Amino acid sequence: MRFRACWTFSRMIWVGNLFKTGSRLCRCRVNCQVKRHYIALPDDVKSLRTVVSPDISKIRNIGIMAHIDAGKTTTTERMLYYSGYTRALGDVDDGDTVTDFMAQERERGITIQSAAVTFDWKSHRINLIDTPGHVDFTVEVERALRVLDGAVAVFDASAGVEAQTLTVWRQADKHHVPRVCFLNKMDKPAANLGLSIESIRAKLKANPVLLQVPVGSGKNFTGLVDLLTKQKMTWKLNSTDDGRVFETKALSQADNPELLQEVREARTALIEQIADLDDEFAELLLTDFGDNFDAVPSSKLQEAVRRVTLARKGVPVLCGSSLKNKGVQPLIDAITDYLPAPNERHHDLVRWYKDDLCALAFKVLHDKQRGPLVFLRIYSGTMKPQTAVYNINRDNTERMSRLLLPFADQHVEIPSLTAGNIALTVGLKQTVTGDTIVSSKSSAAAAARRAQSDRGKGKTRGEQANLVLSGVEVPDPVFFCSIEPPTLAKQADLENALNCLQREDPSLKVRVDPDSGQTILCGMGELHIEIIHDRIRREFGIETHLGPLQVAYRETVLQHASATDTLDRTIGERRHIVTVELAVSPVEDSSSMGSSCDFAFEEEVEEQLSPEVKDAVENGLQSSYLQGPLLGYPVQGVSTLIQNVSMEPGTSPAMVSACVSRCMLKAMRQAGGQVLEPVMSLEVTVGEAHLSSVLGDLSQRRGAVKDIQSRHDNKVLLATVPLAEMMGYSTILRTLTSGNATFSLELDTYEAMNSQDQSALLKRVAGLV
Ligand SMILES: Nc1nc2c(ncn2[C@@H]2O[C@H](COP(=O)(O)OP(=O)(O)OP(=O)(O)O)[C@@H](O)[C@H]2O)c(=O)[nH]1
């Protein structure tokens, strides 16, 4: 064991099995009372550099994704424990996990924010981002996926693929993230390997590659056989055993003949499947092992499985029970063996920036003492504290004071960090989630030049657009409510709190109601708004009052209509006169979520108008799309044709915009307003005994049942239901089923309300009922 003096740690923490911290008084000759902190390096670690900035091929930036309650947090805790990062096993049921560090997470037993955790495993650096499973926090998942190189999908082996997994899986497909699957909860009597694999194939349209065979089932699940090495891993059944130590030995003739047969068949199937997916392996098989699959070396098979995983032609499947401490170590091995290092993923930017710094801010947290903490994924170059960096999105230069390695709510200060790593920075006050950070404006310009020469001469997009890493798409909020401080004196504090929370969470929108002057919170679901409310109380010490939760409807028009309007106003000495003629009509398929509003000028009008007036017309249109004619909800699916804009000389563009907005309102009223309501897709898993009461309740909520499937003793009900009918559903479902049901709710589409429901809504909003 050697000791090296290290930079001063902000806090003393245990940093995993790779190195340990100690402290002693500084021995420098000046009169210094500073405590120096030391890192004890194991003998196989060459230098601190390798610990802080490991070789890029040894880094794995990994996320864990799953349906709510599949066991992500429990699995993460086991990983941290076996890697030596924590010294006691955290338990979500006892509320003492490391990754769920926010107070609400500990209390509610759910994961809200993706906490980044760094740990080491067998000379690899694993940056692990625990992502939430609740659908209200989809943006958190998307944000994490954007910066990951690989992911572990955790499934409840007794349930197979569940609704939220489908959503997250699709998100991972979008970002081309290679994955491995972990079938957790193999200790449950209802765990079913075959059905789970089949549901991965059928529902996720993926190609599962089974790498292990479980030994025993339910309560007697004791271990696994690795199909590549034919090694049998056995854990103790004793419930108090932490699973750190387990027996590994080659499968032998002395083992259960049924298990031997199962392993033989599964290995042959694995070899054939990989040969189908990987030409290099197929060739090796044909030339060297045509008649003896048994002799295929595990290393060759492993290399081929890795190629298949990286090419996303197949997903390795492993199994275990995190709660019972079985199968987690082989899962961490699989992360390092099969998921890609950062340099195995393709990012154009890395080429353009060469060795210059380029990083993406993917998360912002607020710390009372240190101010905003920004999580960055470094794509190229090296990051150092006490340096200025340039934010391309905001076009400003900021100074980064400190650089930290994120260990959940513990942060270790470090002197530099290289490409491929996840860093946590202090001092970036303007940076918002999704921003791109580079070393300087001139390095951004140099990269822009390289990008342009790469893309040929055609400069269709701005230089900046080329260089901004694509951020995170934020879906529109579906719920909103007013929020009020306890006294007017606290209004400024509330605004500050909301600003901080918005920088952290782009799915939270805040606006001021133009009529009432009230502050309005818009969020992704009841739980989302509840958590924000709770955080304002806990973290900012403000007791706020929330108004009733309301659904974010939208509006559209039913038919074609035209309108003309003239605005004649004298302000001071100046007279402004403008006349606008336009026509509105519904866009085809206006009920679909994606259909936004569009507009065009008639050809002659387009030629006559100056660019300044055209901009003014567009501004007027955009502001009229923000508030529909019926209830003031945003407008979608409306197509506008500008037929005439005539104005007296001296009329200001602001007056043109105002006239366009007024004329639009007139036209939309004539065209007949239609309210569109968010319709959710609902999945309820419920015991057969309670199915009829759940169905009966759904029919009263205007729900439409799409399918009822069987899953072991449970029924899975798939339905669509208007969001307006789902307020407080979790409490009602709990009462109806005595707590024997779970559900997930996700925005499906916006649908036109029927005239009866719409007039009831209009009366309700007008206060007539
Ligand atoms: N039987 C069994 N239960 C498990 C296993 N792993 C986790 N659980 C239990 O499943 C529940 C959910 O576990 P979590 O680890 O919080 O799941 P999660 O996916 O992180 O949940 P969210 O963060 O809320 O999405 C807890 O009650 C765990 O004790 C397992 O291997 N076997």
Question: Which domains occur in the chain, in start order?
Answer: 56-264+313-344 (3.40.50.300), 349-454 (2.40.30.10), 479-547 (3.30.70.870), 554-671 (3.30.230.10), 676-766 (3.30.70.240)
Q: Which stretch of 422-431, 438-447, 455-464, 733-742 has the lowest confidence by average pLDDT? A: 455-464
Answer whether 0.80 is exceeded by the pTM.
no
pLDDT of residue 40: 39
pLDDT of residue 9: 30
Specify the 3-state DSSP secondary structure of 686.
Answer: strand
Indicate if the pLDDT at residue 100 is higher than 80. Answer: no
Pocket test residue of 67, 92, 105 for ligand 1, highest count of atoms within 8 A of CB: 92
Quick one: pLDDT band at residue 27, thresholds 50, 70, 90? very low
pLDDT tens-digit readout, 674-689: 999 989 888 888 888 8
pLDDT tens-digit readout, 285-308: 888 887 777 788 999 999 999 999
Q: Which stretch of 9-23, 306-320, 535-549 has the lowest confidence by average pLDDT? A: 9-23
Structure tokens at 738: 């005595």
Distance in Å, CA 81 to ligand 1 centroid: 16
pLDDT of residue 298: 92
Q: Which atom of ligand 1 is nearest to the CA of 108?
A: 24
Distance CA 189, CA 74 (A): 19
Q: What is the ipTM of this complex?
A: 0.97
* Mean per-residue pLDDT of the chain: 81
Residue 151 CA to its chain's centroid (Å): 12
Distance CA 127, CA 394 (A): 28
**Over residues 711-724, mean pLDDT:** 85
pLDDT tens-digit readout, 166-216: 777 877 887 889 999 999 999 999 999 999 999 999 888 899 999 999 999
**Over residues 387-406, mean pLDDT:** 87
Higher pLDDT, 474 or 217: 217
Indicate if the pLDDT at residue 596 is higher than 60. Answer: yes
**Over residues 603-607, mean pLDDT:** 88
pLDDT tens-digit readout, 489-525: 889 999 989 988 887 777 788 988 877 788 998 887 7
186 among the known binding-site residues?
A: yes
185 among the known binding-site residues?
A: yes
pLDDT of residue 101: 53
Buried b (16+ CB within 10 A) or exposed e, 519-546: bbbbbbbbbbbbbbbebbeebbebebee
pLDDT tens-digit readout, 309-324: 999 999 999 999 999 9
Buried b (16+ CB within 10 A) or exposed e, 449-466: eebbeeeeeeeeeeeeeb
Higher pLDDT, 643 or 456: 643
Pocket of ligand 1 (CB under 6 A): 66, 68-74, 92-93, 109-111, 132-133, 184-185, 187-188, 321-324
pLDDT of residue 584: 93
Distance in Å, CA 711 to ligand 1 centroid: 19
- HSE-up of residue 393 (Cα within 13 Å, Cβ side): 16
133 among the known binding-site residues?
A: yes
134 among the known binding-site residues?
A: yes
Indicate if the pLDDT at residue 113 is higher than 60. Answer: no
* Closest among 494, 472, 603 to 543, alpha carbons compared: 494
519 among the known binding-site residues?
A: no
Distance in Å, CA 69 to ligand 1 centroid: 5
Integer angstrom CA distances of residue 492 from 96, 399, 483, 497: 35, 27, 13, 9
Indicate if the pLDDT at residue 6 is higher than 90. Answer: no
CB atoms under 10 Å from CB of 318, counted, come to 23
pLDDT of residue 463: 43
Structure tokens at 460: 């269709």
Nearest-5° angle of CA 517, CA 518, CA 521? Answer: 135
Do 467 and 436 contact (CB within 8 A), yes or no?
yes
pLDDT of residue 134: 54
